[in-house]
Amino acid sequence: ADSYDALFQQITESFGPEVSFVLKPKQLVKVEPLKALNRIQVQLASLSPETKGYVLLDFSEPLDDELQAVLVYSTDLARVMELAVEVGIYAAPAYEALKAAQEAE
């Protein structure tokens, strides 16, 4: 996606109508990126209690869109990160990566 509202729209659509989200994509339209990403991550962390929610993971180098991410169960995050290093693919938790990038500026 090219914006956080569009990214969240794609995420909600991927879960289908049976999963209800408190956060709505339109609520992210004019929100600064770090706050938007935090809101998305908080919403994702509340899903799937047995896997401690989801983490939005920046994945690989963006191709056609500004934002390229995958959802990973929180319980699988360490292993996914290990595998990304093994195969040489960039991966980082999206919120933490953006926060670190903004602090470095």
Res. 1: pLDDT tops 80: yes
pTM: 0.88
Q: What digits encode the pLDDT tens for the residues 57-104? A: 998 876 666 788 899 999 999 999 999 999 999 999 999 999 998 898
Q: DSSP states of 31-94 as a string? A: S-HHHHHHHHHHHHHTS-GGGT-EEEEEESS-SSSS--EEEEEGGGHHHHHHHHHHHT--EEEH
CA 57 to chain CA centroid, nearest Å: 5
Average pLDDT in the 16-34 region?
93
